Amino acid sequence: MLEMTELHQAAAAGDFDLVEEILKKKKKKCNPNHRDIDWNYKTPLHWAAAKGQTETVRILVEHGARACLRTDSGWTPAHFAAEAGRLGVLRLLHSLHAPIDKEDFSGDKPVRIAEVYGHSDCVRFLESAEPECRAYRQMAVLKGFPLDDTDKEWEEQRREELNRTAKPHLVNKNLIGKIAHTNNS
């Protein structure tokens, strides 16, 4: 098994000073978007968002961390912040034009996660912020602004998984139809 990177460990521990030191001293060797396989493909940004470390989230993004990256279940940093009731992190992610309205593999957006965990302040914020997020995305596309709101690798894996799981379902449906036809003959 692989171990968490030093940056992952610092972010998971909520140690802003160490995160800052790692990012500044090891800039060329440090990848803030490294996904930890042993922890469901979490990046340091996922950890910082879950811990409510607003300043750590900010410095990670300033050093190239992508807020659109997803875990194996499709969670973005916004999902983790919503789960933990981290309103400050959600506000920051929104102010940075991070995608706060993406569905995970089960179809749940961060607002739904906040509802499930009873974080009504996060729910209210996300309900008002989601339309703003969509409007910004539309404006960015129209004006040709760069927009980093999609984890293409995760989207491709999701398509492959859906195709893989859909085909046996169709085969079984066809097989059931053939069996029913044979039994009726």
Residue 182: inside a domain: yes
Residues 184 and 97 in one domain: no
Domain count of the chain?
2
Residues 166 and 109 in one domain: no
- Give the pLDDT band of residue 1 (cuts 50, 70, 90): very low
pLDDT for res 163: 83
From the list 114, 74, 116, 117, the residue with the least C-alpha distance to 91 is: 114
Residues 116 and 59 in one domain: yes
Residues 94 and 178 in one domain: no
Residues 168 and 109 in one domain: no
Residues 65 and 26 in one domain: yes
- Give the pLDDT band of residue 183 (cuts 50, 70, 90): very low
Residue 172 clears pLDDT 70, i.e. is over it: no
Residues whose CB is less than 8 angstroms from the CB of residue 118 and which lie 6 or more positions away in sequence, other chains included: none
Name the 3-class secondary structure at 30: coil
Average pLDDT for 85-97: 98
Residue 1: inside a domain: no
Average pLDDT for 46-59: 97
Which range has the worst mean pLDDT, 103-117, 135-149, 157-171? 157-171
Residues 97 and 163 in one domain: no
Residues 107 and 183 in one domain: no
d(CA 161, CA 118): 31
Range of the domain at 170: 151-185
Residues 172 and 111 in one domain: no
Residue 71 clears pLDDT 70, i.e. is over it: yes
pLDDT for res 58: 97
The structure tokens listed for 63 are 């050093």
Residues 166 and 85 in one domain: no
From the list 47, 38, 44, 39, the residue with the least C-alpha distance to 23 is: 44
Residues 108 and 136 in one domain: yes
Residue 67: inside a domain: yes
Average pLDDT for 160-183: 58
pLDDT for res 4: 67
**Higher model confidence: residue 1 or residue 150?**
150
pLDDT (tens digit per residue) in 95-141: 999 999 999 989 999 999 999 999 999 999 999 999 999 999 999 99
Q: Which amino acid is at 105?
A: F
Average pLDDT for 52-59: 97
Residues 144 and 157 in one domain: no
Tell me, what CATH number does 19's domain have?
Answer: 1.25.40.20
